[in-house]
Amino acid sequence: MDSGIGLLAATAAVRRLRPDADLVLSFDPEGMPWGPRTPEDVTARALAVAEAAAARRPEALIVGCNTATVHSLPALRARLEPGIPVVGTVPAIKPAAAGGGPVAIWATPATTGSAYQRGLIENFADGVPVTEVPCWGLAEAVEHADQAAIDTAVRAAAELTPDDVTTVVLGCTHYELVAERIRAAVRRSGGTPLALHGSADAVAAQALRRIGASPAPGAPATGLVTVLLNGREGELPEAALSYAEARLLRTAAPAAPAVSQ
């Protein structure tokens, strides 16, 4: 679940691990983006999108959104667990800091500077210097596949990234869809390779662990994909198909009937 196509990164990661898994993608096109909303509003919308997915009786729910995880994870878990395990998306600060070099966290303005993100830095950065970089307009540009706006937003964030940074944490799931464009924009002196850390692979693996399932990347590609737009069956937004992650999921099937909770 997510407001928009930021959930594609984790969904594609699940698809690669389990090609036989049926997937339900629950979006909030009427309310996106969530970044500028108040925490209370984000939580209300996240609960509605989650409940639409929960009506399909999934084995687990992935919150494919950093903003929703920051503001809404306790409420989502209180509403759905233990019946449906809820897996949040957390910026990959700990593995990024393990590299030892200065780190930048690219995130939405709502997440940048939040008590939640500051707590993660304090708990997991292990003394490594961390710069928080607000990425104005980048999630929205990615959502609409606006190539010029993506370039502008990436360039602006790159200019806010200190020259000595060797690692960038992608603190918004939308950013993982344009990871290579970010890598190209943040050039290090002396040709030092830039390390990027997203969350999608770790989130997908955690979801499988929570339901006691093992990865089976060689399984037959029989999994169906259901798209819910504010609870109604639909199709992936056209802009999503600009990204390889969406094309991997393009085959969609009718949703299973909703059931009473």
Note whether 223 and 22 are within 8 A (CB): yes
Specify the pLDDT at position 188: 62
> What would the two tokens of residue 127 be?
């003394």
Can you give the pLDDT at residue 253?
44
- Does residue 46 sit in the same domain as residue 142? no
pLDDT at 258: 53
Angstrom CA distances, 18 to 26, 203, 218, 252, stand at 19, 13, 8, 16
Q: Are residues 124 and 148 in the same domain?
A: yes
> Are residue 189 and residue 137 in the same domain, yes or no?
yes
Rounded Cα gap, residues 230 and 43, in angstroms: 15
**Domain range for residue 38?**
5-89+201-247
Does the residue 255 lie in any domain?
Answer: no
Q: Are residues 70 and 108 in the same domain?
A: no
Catalytic entry in 10, 65, 133, 204: 65
Q: What is the mean pLDDT of the chain?
A: 91
225 belongs to a structural domain: yes
Q: Which of 25, 172, 178, 225 is labelled catalytic?
A: 172
> Which portions of the chain are predicted below pLDDT 50?
252-256, 260-261
| Alpha helices for 18-97 (secondary structure H) | 39-54, 66-80, 93-97
Structure tokens at 110: 């709502």
DSSP string, 212-230: TPPP-TTS-S---EEEEET
Give yes or no: residues 64 and 142 share one domain: no
> What is the total residue count of the chain?
261
Q: Note whether 32 and 72 are same-domain residues.
A: yes
Q: Domain check: are 189 and 224 in the same one?
A: no
Q: What own/partner pairs with CB < 8 Å and gap ≥ 24 does 116-124 have? A: 116/70, 116/71, 117/70, 117/91, 117/171, 120/90, 120/91, 120/93, 121/93, 124/93, 124/94, 124/97
Q: Is residue 216 part of a domain?
A: yes
Antiparallel, parallel or unpaired: β 167-170 and 195-197: parallel
On whether both 45 and 102 belong to a single domain, the answer is no
Q: What is the pLDDT of residue 13?
A: 96
Cis ω for the linkage preceding 33 (within 30 of 0): yes
135 counts as catalytic: no
- Select from 160, 176, 198 the last residue of a domain: 198
The answer to whether position 120 is within a domain reads: yes
CATH of the domain at 235: 3.40.50.1860
Q: Which helix (H) or strand (E) holds 123?
A: helix 115-124
Q: Which two tokens stand for residue 212?
A: 């006691």
**51 found inside a domain:** yes
User: Are 26 and 65 contained in the same domain?
Assistant: yes
Instruction: Indicate the number of domains in the chain.
Output: 2
234, two tokens: 């639909």
Structural domain contains residue 260: no
Which is nearest to 110 in space by CA: 186, 180, 40, 179?
Answer: 40
Do both 81 and 208 map to the same domain?
A: yes
Within a domain: 227:
yes
My answer on whether 113 and 170 are in the same domain is yes
Residue 191 has a pLDDT of 63
| In a shared domain, residues 103 and 188 | yes
Q: Which two tokens stand for residue 114?
A: 């939040």
Residue 258 in domain? no
